[in-house]
């Protein structure tokens, strides 16, 4: 009976202190045992929680006005990017009527030479001015007729040249509407053509 009571008495705080002393540990209050790593001041996040925070999807602005402004800004940037690509002649950004190697060849043929059709807009402007001069009105009719004849001749010759080159370099490709396409581009001012010319005037295509 005395042995059992002695064992119960030694199981209290004195026994804990004795165990700490045997392990070479300081029994002072608040002391951290040597075999325990000190805390970092915050709990270490779980791997799943860290991955979840890192892979959180993009959240749209809560404010409707801010979301609309963001959408407009993004749309404007996309349109600018597509327009610049179209100006460079990148096929993915071009309209359907401008896509394909045959149309690109037609543009190069048109851009490789200076033609009367290129100055069509300047000629029209000059004719409008001449209409206000009474003594020159009779001449305007003949000038307009001459310009029309020259432009039609250039369009036919240009279309024939483009179709011939397309048949040689891209056999089997569709050439329908190529004459009109080439003539319309030839009528545009060179600096305003879209896509912009890839070849210089006088270059060999």
CA proximity to 88, closest of 97, 98, 96: 98
pLDDT for 10 equals 46
pLDDT for 71 equals 84
For residue 170, tell me if it sits in a domain. yes
**Exposed, middle or buried by CB within 10 Å (0-12, 13-18, 19+), for 111?**
buried
Helical axes 120-130 vs 137-169, angle rounded to 10°: 170
| CA-to-CA separations, 192 to 16, 31, 106, 118, in angstroms, rounded | 93, 83, 17, 11
For residue 12, tell me if it sits in a domain. no
Tokens describing residue 92: 């993915």
Tokens describing residue 98: 């401008």
Strands annotated E in the chain: none
φ, ψ dihedrals at 157, nearest 5°:
-65, -40
- Length of the chain equals 205
End-to-end Cα separation, the chain, in angstroms: 117
Distance (Å, whole) CA 24 – CA 34: 9
In the block, residue with structure tokens 């005037």: 201
Cβ atoms of residues 111 and 193 within 8 Å: yes
CA proximity to 185, closest of 112, 83, 126, 128: 112
pLDDT values of the chain reduced to their tens digit, one per residue, 205 residues: 444 444 444 444 444 444 444 444 444 444 445 554 544 555 666 666 666 666 655 555 667 888 888 888 888 888 999 889 998 889 999 999 999 999 999 999 999 999 999 998 899 899 888 888 888 888 888 888 999 999 999 999 999 999 999 999 999 998 999 999 999 999 999 999 999 999 998 888 8
For residue 61, tell me if it sits in a domain. no
Q: How many domains does the chain have?
A: 1
For residue 168, tell me if it sits in a domain. yes
In the block, residue with structure tokens 């240009």: 158
Cβ atoms of residues 166 and 100 within 8 Å: no
For residue 25, tell me if it sits in a domain. no
Structural domain boundaries, residue 122: 100-196
pLDDT for 28 equals 46
Distance (Å, whole) CA 133 – CA 61: 63
pLDDT for 66 equals 80
Q: Which residues does 135 contact at the CB level (< 8 Å), separation at least 6?
A: none
Indicate the DSSP class of residue 201. Answer: T
């Amino acid at each position: 009976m005395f042995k059992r009571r002695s064992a119960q008495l030694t199981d209290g705080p004195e026994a804990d202190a004795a165990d700490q002393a045997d392990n070479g540990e300081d029994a002072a209050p608040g002391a951290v045992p040597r075999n325990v790593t000190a805390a970092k001041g915050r709990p270490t996040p779980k791997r799943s929680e860290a991955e979840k925070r890192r892979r959180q999807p993009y959240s749209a602005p809560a404010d409707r006005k801010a979301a609309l402004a963001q959408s407009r800004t993004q749309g404007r940037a996309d349109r600018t990017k597509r327009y610049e690509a179209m100006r460079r002649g990148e096929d993915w950004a071009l309209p359907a009527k401008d896509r394909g190697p045959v149309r690109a060849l037609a543009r190069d043929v048109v851009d490789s030479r200076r033609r009367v059709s290129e100055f069509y807009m300047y000629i029209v402007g000059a004719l409008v001015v001449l209409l206000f001069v009474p003594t020159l009105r009779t001449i305007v009719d003949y000038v307009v007729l001459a310009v029309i004849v020259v432009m039609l001749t250039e369009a036919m010759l240009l279309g024939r040249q483009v179709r011939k080159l397309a048949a040689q370099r891209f056999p089997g490709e569709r050439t329908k509407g190529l004459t009109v396409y080439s003539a319309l581009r030839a009528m545009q001012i060179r600096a305003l053509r879209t896509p912009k010319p890839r070849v210089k005037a006088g270059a060999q295509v």
